[in-house]
Chain A
Amino acid sequence: MTTLQPPAAAGPRTAGPPPPARRARRSWKGWGFMGPFAIVFALVFLAPLAYSVYLSLFRTQLIGGTHFVGLDNYQQALQDGRFWEGVTRVGLFLLVQVPIMLGLALLVALAIDSGRLYGKDFFRITVFLPYAVPAVVATLMWGFMYGTRYGLVGDINSAFGVKLPELLSPDLVLASIGNIVTWEFVGYNMLIFYAALRVVPHALYEAAEIDGAGQLRVITAIKLPAIRGALVIATIFSIIGSFQLFNEPAILQKLAPNAITTDFTPNYYTYSLSFSGQQQNYSATVAIVMGVITMVVAYVVQLRGMRKGA
């Protein structure tokens, strides 16, 4: 209960060890301040999680109804080939798409920050603009361009008599989704990096110049270390985003029903399980397992990122 002491007792925010727990006389005054927050927190954050965990311990069958199965669903999920296939797919997506996207974003941010760019405001807005387009709209738009029959690809094929690869075929569809996601989020990540770059004191650059450092040296020795925190944050966001991949495949599924299966990504799998298969319990289990995986990966990245940054 020490964490719920009245704010006055919390003292100044320090990184040091917490003050020794002191058995204060029970005072309910603090709860008056804490209460509203605690209630909303419990209802909005804890209750849904608890409910999912609760759901995951049962199984509802068309024949036989609902009964308690303990951890059976978890055992099933851990051995579920369809689930792991999806995890592998988003894992691959993460390894390929995230570095490309963050690399591009960093490049753009550095270019804008260099001050040597003509019309940098226009450039910045334009790169950021795709982020303002709802993912659903963006995907529909790209899906239309990918179309080999009436889409842009189809038009190019017939206009120039070439045969571009089918972007919605099973082999390429993941890359095509990666392209959409990159287009959507380069601007967003660029903005994070750019904002971090703006707060680097200019005196450092001047000092570097006096020391005879070139632009490249300034970037590697000053700018990148200075925005390491932003890099780590953007990476973590991207990891979570990759693992939660849903909108793009769900919408492209209508255009490429055979390339995008109902278990294409873990999130899409949970959606199919609960909305087509009426297996809400198992769906909750898969969601929890995926949540844990995401947390672990994100945490490892954060630990590593921060250690280097120390």
Chain B
Amino acid sequence: MPKHSRRLLRGTGLVCALALGAAACGGSGSGSGSGDKKVSASDVQAALKKGGTITVWAWDSTVKDVAAQFEKKYPKVHVDVVNAGTGNDQYKALSNAISAKKGVPDVAQVEYYAIGQYALTKGLTDLGAYGAGKLKADYTTGPWNSVSDGDSVWGLPMDSGPMALFYNKKVFDKYKITVPTTWDDYLKAARKLHKANPKMYITGDVGDAGLTTSLLWQAGSHPYTVDGTTVGINFDDAGAKKYTDVWQKLIDEKLLASITPWTDDWYKGLGDGTIATLPTGAWMPNNFVTGVKQASGDWRVADLPQWTKGANASAENGGSSLAVPALGQHKNKALAYAFAKYSAAGAGVQTRLGEGAFPATVKDLDSPKFLNTKFAYFGGQQANKIFAKSAKNVKPGWSYLPYQVYANSIFNDTVGKAYVSGIKLSAGLKSWQDASVKYGKDQGFTVK
């Protein structure tokens, strides 16, 4: 049946083109390359009523439930949720689909650091034309700035990742380690723990671009400056030095477990105390609940350690938006937008929060219900209070490269060397910088 109706639709399009009466065929944004002409709320409503199928690419496990809810509310709509890989794996698939102009999802989960690249290459629909600009006041500043550029809106923030320190309290108590408040204390805690039990490490890190950039962000480093197609890359500043000083010692003294994140070993390590802390984004709790069941009750959340004693700086780590690719395979952008809006700004948000997602919406961040939520996994701790505080303390002024997806993919070629050979972390960052500059030039950017 859907095949049938699509053919019918295409037929209609042809008739419209022949009739040259574009005005008579306003339609509900079903055209593919028709630019970003205004689409009104009633057009979106019409699309919902009419129904149809959309394909959504998301690795966030809560999206499936939102989709089921959405289908229930709009019975004629079918939402096909596909997990096309996490992060970089999905971007590979997405970029390929876009360059092949085939099999592109109608809605895709895109992290904040990757939005710029897809917006720049015109891979995404400007949701400003759909009235997304009006949602600005609903979101916290950081995530909104990551998805918007003037009047253009390239995605709707679905969560955010203000950072906090997750730590295994059972391990800390056993070895009488106090929760570090500065990164220097963190280093001391790492030494103490590893000395007390050589099988245990303060954290697992084999070189992760997301973690490094977030920690640089918190340290006040500004490696990337972006102004349109002019970019600057420089890892040689005071903030970066703070980071390399501490992390170099962690590497040199072999205080980091060489366990790749998101592998089975990693989950095991989080469960059995091998990995004692995890500095990461506020979207993490659900991963603990589903992936590290055996350690339920062991873990707690604390403020992210500081680079300067007594400061309260924070940074974002990860965080995603739902974007509407320009060449969505079902050519039903109005419907795609309706789903993105429902999941990221509508009723879907509550569903996702219920499953442990961390919101980017102001209303939810400030709601007492959200703040007072007790996490059974964290021994009844009201962890959201810590995350919300962190969200307010995120340092302003950070930006990613417009081709951060590529830059991150070569992180282990360059900075990763510092983890396995005699190369210094600062030298690794320098070669990452050089490789990123080279790619930028190759791609036609003006690189300072």
Do A and B come from the same complex? yes
A64 and B260 form a contact (CB under 8 A): no
Q: Of B7-15, B49-57, B402-410, which stretch is located at the interface?
A: B402-410
The answer, yes or no, to whether B421 is at the interface (CB within 8 Å) is yes
A262 and B410 form a contact (CB under 8 A): yes
The answer, yes or no, to whether B362 is at the interface (CB within 8 Å) is no
CB proximity of A224 to chain B, nearest CB, Å:
43
B439 and A258 form a contact (CB under 8 A): no
A62 and B206 form a contact (CB under 8 A): no
The answer, yes or no, to whether A277 is at the interface (CB within 8 Å) is yes
Tell me which of A61, A149, A170 contacts B421 (CB under 8 A): A170
Quick one: given A275-B92, A276-B92, A278-B95, are A254 and B263 in contact (CB under 8 Å)? yes
A61 and B412 form a contact (CB under 8 A): no
Tell me which of A63, A150, A257, A275 contacts B412 (CB under 8 A): A257
> What CA separation (Å) do A275 and B98 show in the bound complex?
12
> What CA separation (Å) do A147 and B268 show in the bound complex?
14
Most B CB contacts (10 A, CB to CB) among A254, A255, A278 go to: A278
A276 and B263 form a contact (CB under 8 A): no
The answer, yes or no, to whether B339 is at the interface (CB within 8 Å) is no
Quick one: given A149-B259, A257-B260, A278-B99, are A61 and B442 in contact (CB under 8 Å)? yes
In chain A, what residue has the closest Cβ to B403?
Answer: A62
The answer, yes or no, to whether B96 is at the interface (CB within 8 Å) is yes
In chain B, what residue has the closest Cβ to A276?
Answer: B409
0/1 per residue, A54-75, Cβ < 8 Å to B? 0000000111100000000000
CB proximity of B396 to chain A, nearest CB, Å:
27
A257 and B263 form a contact (CB under 8 A): no
The answer, yes or no, to whether A272 is at the interface (CB within 8 Å) is yes
Tell me which of B88, B259, B406, B410 contacts A278 (CB under 8 A): B406
> What CA separation (Å) do A277 and B442 show in the bound complex?
11
Residues of A close to B229: CB separation below 8 A: 63
CB proximity of B317 to chain A, nearest CB, Å:
19
> What CA separation (Å) do A280 and B402 show in the bound complex?
19
Report the count of interface residues on B (CB-CB < 8 A): 37
Residues of B close to A169: CB separation below 8 A: 420
B443 and A170 form a contact (CB under 8 A): no
In chain B, what residue has the closest Cβ to A279?
Answer: B442
The answer, yes or no, to whether A113 is at the interface (CB within 8 Å) is no
CB proximity of B110 to chain A, nearest CB, Å:
15
Residues of A close to B223: CB separation below 8 A: none
> What CA separation (Å) do A277 and B263 show in the bound complex?
24
Residues of B close to A263: CB separation below 8 A: 413
Interface residues on A, range: 20 to 34
The answer, yes or no, to whether A244 is at the interface (CB within 8 Å) is no
CB proximity of B230 to chain A, nearest CB, Å:
10
> What CA separation (Å) do A150 and B96 show in the bound complex?
35
CB proximity of B403 to chain A, nearest CB, Å:
6
The answer, yes or no, to whether A5 is at the interface (CB within 8 Å) is no
In chain B, what residue has the closest Cβ to A154?
Answer: B265
Quick one: given A62-B121, A254-B260, are A147 and B412 in contact (CB under 8 Å)? no
0/1 per residue, B253-278, Cβ < 8 Å to A? 00001111001110010000000000
> What CA separation (Å) do A277 and B406 show in the bound complex?
6
The answer, yes or no, to whether A259 is at the interface (CB within 8 Å) is yes
CB proximity of A119 to chain B, nearest CB, Å:
39
> What CA separation (Å) do A263 and B207 show in the bound complex?
17
In chain A, what residue has the closest Cβ to B93?
Answer: A275
Residues of A close to B96: CB separation below 8 A: 275
> What CA separation (Å) do A261 and B416 show in the bound complex?
9
Residues of A close to B268: CB separation below 8 A: 150
B409 and A170 form a contact (CB under 8 A): no
B120 and A62 form a contact (CB under 8 A): yes
The answer, yes or no, to whether B33 is at the interface (CB within 8 Å) is no
Quick one: given A62-B120, A62-B444, A149-B259, are A259 and B420 in contact (CB under 8 Å)? yes
> What CA separation (Å) do A169 and B417 show in the bound complex?
11
In chain B, what residue has the closest Cβ to A149?
Answer: B265
> What CA separation (Å) do A272 and B420 show in the bound complex?
21
19 further A-B pairs in the complex, CB-CB below 8 A; given A62-B444, A150-B265: A62-B117, A62-B443, A62-B445, A63-B444, A149-B257, A149-B265, A170-B420, A254-B263, A255-B263, A258-B206, A258-B207, A258-B420, A262-B409, A262-B413, A263-B413, A275-B92, A276-B88, A276-B92, A277-B406
A-B contact pairs, 14 of them (CB 8 A): A61-B444, A63-B445, A149-B257, A150-B265, A170-B417, A170-B421, A257-B207, A258-B207, A261-B413, A263-B413, A276-B88, A276-B92, A278-B95, A279-B442
Which A residues lie at the B interface, using CB under 8 A?
61-64, 147, 149-150, 169-170, 254-255, 257-259, 261-263, 272, 275-280
